[in-house]
């Protein structure tokens, strides 16, 4: 490979790495916008902690746990730290798509995303200490193990033999549902926020304090997804990257329209938050198969994801789970849909592929649910995971951090 092409590939991957990093700002703004101002510092603290620990843990062992080389297909480990080896900085590494260092940093940005998904779902009532312990274990161990099953050459990648197996291009299951399953378990163990459900079990809306910030967060996430999916081409290949960016954007737009359409039909109002989550649902839905779909198929996948969002949010309320930002609906349920869609639409559509996709979903779900439950139940029984009533009513910013995000605009939001 000529040096210029190798350099161009690597530069593209570094740009995508920066875009995925930028997504963490999007997550932060979305989460604080959809929750109350008295918990703003707490949410921002968790998101900054996730980025810092995620990168360090991925350096210490996560990268080599996710990419262990030759292993039994279920669990392998190539050692602590990083070692580019003889070819790590040359075109002999990764077919000239990027260098070893770029590979580590790009994948490290993905690792932190899984825990960020959990952060939004458990907002406004989880203790900061137990959340940090959970993040360290889940990002450091669980995420890279699941990733190794497919991206590290594990058993999911070989389900179909030479014909190919499970397909998850950029992580509808391997990133989004890994976070979504943990969010589901955490929300169940935590219980709902005070005032979310009345005595008859009816859900009450707890409005977010800054919808403009939430909107900015979603638009930043959409931009960041160009790196999330575009970088998953693993080179600057013109055909591959341009198709992926088109399918990603069309699915996002269709997801927003789908959610807008159904929520307006059902609730007779133009709900911006549902519109925003529809966009995210479309993005998550296309992530598994963005490289396989035509533009029309991407629109169909995104539109259905938008419809799913509206129904999923209502269902989650009905079963009395409290997810302040809709993370379970967006990342878990649309992640499952997007993964299955690979077997329904696109170049790999077919019954065999649907079975491969279902196997990947099931294996990830069982492992993540059991792992998250075990980690959280131990913490719950020892340290506790939920703040007390007074702390929740006053806000976590005051009691957990001794700070106020808006000291000049203090309000009573009990």
pLDDT, position 201:
84
- For 25-44, what is the mean pLDDT? 96
Q: Is the pLDDT of residue 163 over 70?
A: no
| In-domain check, residue 78 | yes
pLDDT, position 209:
94
| In-domain check, residue 176 | yes
By percentage, how much of the chain surpasses pLDDT 70? 97
Q: How many helices (H) and strands (E) does the chain have?
A: 16, 0
| In-domain check, residue 227 | yes
| In-domain check, residue 64 | yes
Q: Is the pLDDT of residue 69 over 60?
A: yes
Q: Is the pLDDT of residue 149 over 50?
A: yes
pLDDT, position 162:
64
- For 353-368, what is the mean pLDDT? 97
Total length of the chain: 414
Domain total for the chain? Answer: 1
Sign of the alpha-carbon dihedral angle for 332, 333, 334, 337: positive
Tell me what percent of the chain is helix, strand and coil, each rounded to the nearest 5: 70, 0, 30
Domain containing 14 equals 3-409
Q: Is the pLDDT of residue 378 over 90?
A: yes
| In-domain check, residue 231 | yes
pLDDT, one tens digit per residue, over 339-351 is 999 999 999 999 9
Q: Which residues contact 357 (CB under 8 A, 6 or more apart)?
A: 166, 167, 288, 339, 340, 342, 343
| In-domain check, residue 414 | no
**C-beta of residue 294 within 8 angstroms of C-beta of residue 346:** yes
| In-domain check, residue 266 | yes
How far apart are the C-alpha atoms of 97 and 49, rounded to whole Å?
30
pLDDT, position 113:
85
pLDDT, one tens digit per residue, over 177-208 is 999 999 999 999 999 999 999 888 899 999 99
- For 128-148, what is the mean pLDDT? 96
Question: C-alpha 341: how far from its chain's center?
Answer: 18
- For 395-399, what is the mean pLDDT? 94
Q: Is the pLDDT of residue 258 over 50?
A: yes
pLDDT, position 365:
98
Residue 1 token pair:
């490979």
How far apart are the C-alpha atoms of 349 and 330, rounded to whole Å?
23
- CATH number for 250: 1.10.3430.10
Residue 310 token pair:
């509206």
Residue 189 token pair:
């163990």
| In-domain check, residue 94 | yes
Q: How confident is the model at residue 411 (pLDDT cuts 50, 70, 90)?
A: low
- For 94-115, what is the mean pLDDT? 92
pLDDT, position 52:
95
pLDDT, position 359:
96
Angle at 389 between CA 384 and CA 394, to 5 degrees: 115
Q: Is the pLDDT of residue 262 over 90?
A: yes
pLDDT, position 414:
45
pLDDT, position 65:
97
pLDDT, one tens digit per residue, over 278-326 is 999 999 999 999 999 999 999 999 999 999 999 999 999 999 999 999 9
């Amino acid at each position: 490979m000529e040096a210029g092409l190798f350099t161009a590939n690597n530069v593209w991957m570094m740009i995508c790495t920066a875009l995925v990093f930028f997504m963490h700002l999007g997550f932060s703004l979305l989460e604080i916008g959809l929750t109350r101002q008295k918990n703003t510092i707490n949410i921002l603290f968790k998101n900054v902690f996730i980025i810092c620990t995620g990168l360090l843990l991925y350096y210490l062992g996560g990268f080599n746990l996710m990419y262990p080389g030759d292993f039994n297909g279920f669990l392998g480990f190539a050692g602590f730290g990083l070692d580019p080896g003889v070819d790590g900085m040359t075109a002999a590494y990764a077919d000239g798509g990027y260098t070893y260092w770029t590979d580590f940093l790009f994948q490290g940005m993905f690792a932190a995303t899984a825990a960020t998904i959990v952060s939004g779902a458990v907002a406004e009532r989880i203790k900061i200490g137990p959340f940090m312990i959970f993040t360290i274990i889940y990002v450091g161990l669980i995420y890279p193990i699941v990733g190794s099953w497919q991206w590290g050459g594990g058993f999911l990648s070989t389900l179909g033999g030479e014909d190919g197996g499970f397909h998850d291009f950029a992580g509808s299951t391997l990133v989004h549902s890994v976070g979504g399953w943990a969010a589901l378990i955490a929300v169940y163990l935590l219980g709902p926020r005070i005032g979310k459900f009345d005595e008859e079990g009816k859900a009450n809306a707890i409005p977010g304090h800054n919808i403009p910030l939430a909107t900015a967060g979603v638009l930043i996430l959409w931009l960041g997804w160009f790196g999330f999916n575009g970088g998953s081409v693993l080179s600057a290949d013109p055909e591959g990257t341009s198709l992926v960016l088109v399918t990603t954007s069309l699915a996002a737009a269709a997801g927003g329209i789908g959610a807008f359409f159904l929520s307006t039909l059902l609730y007779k109002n133009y709900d911006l938050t549902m519109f925003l989550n529809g966009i995210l649902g479309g993005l998550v839905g296309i992530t598994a198969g963005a490289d396989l779909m035509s533009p029309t198929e991407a629109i169909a996948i995104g539109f259905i994801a938008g419809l799913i969002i509206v129904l999923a949010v209502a269902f989650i309320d009905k079963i009395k789970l409290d997810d302040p930002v809709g993370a379970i609906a967006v990342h878990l349920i649309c992640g499952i849909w997007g993964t299955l869609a690979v077997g329904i639409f696109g170049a790999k559509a077919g019954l065999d592929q649907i079975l491969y996709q279902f196997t990947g979903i099931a294996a990830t779900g069982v492992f993540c649910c059991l792992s998250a439950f075990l980690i959280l139940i131990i913490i719950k029984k020892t340290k506790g995971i939920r703040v007390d009533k007074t702390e929740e009513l006053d806000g976590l910013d005051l009691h957990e951090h001794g700070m106020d995000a808006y000291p000049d605009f203090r309000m009573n939001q009990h």
